[in-house]
Structure 1
Amino acid sequence: MSIQDRLAELGVTLPDAPAPAANYVPFVVTGHHVHVSGQISQGPEGLITGKLGADLDVEAGAGAARACAISLLAQLRRACDGDLDRLVRVVKLVGFVNSTPDFTDQPKVINGASDFLVAALGEAGRHARSAVSAASLPFGVAVEIEAIFEIR
C-alpha cells in the first residue's frame, strides 16, 4: 500500500508544503537524506499557539505535534517531487515544546508526531528522537519539529 493510501485511510490529506517564514530553505537534500527545517504547529484553522503547562494540556500539545508531522510529510513530498514512496525511513525528529519551567511531559507531547508517523508509515516511521522544552517558540506556537528522512 502506498503512503498516500495509508494517509487516506487515516483521513489525512497533506496540505501544500508551508513556505519558510524567514531567510532559510524548507529542506535540503544531500545524498539519500532530506533534512527538513522546523515545522511549526499549524492546522487548517491557522497556528496552534499556547504554552504547555499553562494554556495547553498534554493532549492538545500532542495534537499540535501531530500537525507538525503532517507538515513534515508535506515538505518531504515536495522534496521528493511528489513521490512519498521514495521514503526509506524517518531517521530522526527533534521536537521543541513551548512550555513552562515546571512542565516535564515534553516526550508525551512529541509522541503526537511519533505515533502519527508510525501509524502512517509503519516500521519506516520509527525513528531516533529528542524532545526538549523551549521558553518560547516563533509566533507563540505550541510545538516545532525538525526531521531527517532517508530516501531512495
Structure 2
Amino acid sequence: MIAERLGQLGIVLPHAAAPAANYVPGVVHAGLLHISGQIPFDENGDLIRGRLGEDMTMKEGAAAARRCGIGLLAQMNAVLGDLDKVRRVVKLGVFVASTPNFTDQPKVANGASDLMVEVFGERGRHARSAVGVAALPLGVAVEIDAIIAVDA
C-alpha cells in the first residue's frame, strides 16, 4: 500500500493546496488525472522562492522540486481518495525559474522524478519535460504539473 510506503519514507502529505485562481486542482478524464501546477512549500508551509543560477543552488532546486512532488501526491490523494488508485505516473512537466546561462533544469527536476519512483516504484517512472523560465508565480523556484493514469 502506498500509505505504508509514505510512512517508510517519512513523508507526511500536507493538505492539498487550494486553487489560487479560476481553475481546479485536478481533472479526471478518460482514465487520466491531470494535476494543475504545484509550487513548492517547505515543511512549515512557507513558499520556496529563488532562481537557479542566481540565488539558489542545484541541491536547493532539487529539494524544491521534491516539495512540488509532495504537493502532487497530496493532490492525487485529494482527488482520488486513495493513492493506491494510481496506475502510472505518465508525465511530469517541470518549470524551473533560472537565469539564461543555467542549463541543468533536468537535474533540478530529478528531485520530483526520484520521489515518484521512491513512492510508486516502476509505476512512478514517467516521461518528462524540464524547462527553464524567467519567472514563476510568487517568485517560486519550481512549478510542476502532472498526468497520472488512474483506476476509474
TM-score class normalised by the smaller sequence: over 0.9
Give 1:93's aligned amino acid. L
Percent identity (aligned): 59
Q: Which AA in structure 1 matches 2:123?
A: A
Tell me how far apart the structure 2 counterparts of residues 94 and 147 of structure 1 sit (CA, whole Å): 6
Using the alignment, how far apart are the partners of 1:110 and 1:15 within structure 2? Answer: 21
The alignment's TM-score, normalised by the length of structure 2, stands at: 0.97
Displacement of 1:21: 1.1
Written as runs of structure 1 = structure 2, the 5 A alignment for 1:3-152 is 3-45=2-44, 46-80=46-80, 82-152=81-151
Total equivalences in the alignment:
150
Segments of structure 2 that go 5 or more residues without pairing to the other structure are: none
- TM-superposed deviation, 1:22: 1.1
For 2:133, the aligned partner's letter is A
Tell me the distance in 2 between the aligned counterparts of 1:87 and 1:98. 29
User: Which amino acid in structure 1 is aligned with residue 139 of structure 2?
Assistant: G
Secondary structure at 1:133 match in 2:
strand
After the TM superposition, list the runs of 4 or more consecutive aligned residues in structure 1 that deviate by more than 4 angstroms. Answer: none
Measure, in 1, the Cα distance between the counterparts of 2:66 and 2:7: 15
Distance 1:120 1:87 in 2: 11
CA RMSD after TM alignment: 0.6
> 1:90-118 CA deviation, whole Å, 9 max, x = no partner?
00000000000100000000000000110
After superposition, the C-alpha distances for 1:37-63 in whole angstroms (9 at most, x for unaligned) are 000111223100000001101100000
One-letter code of the match for 2:3? Q
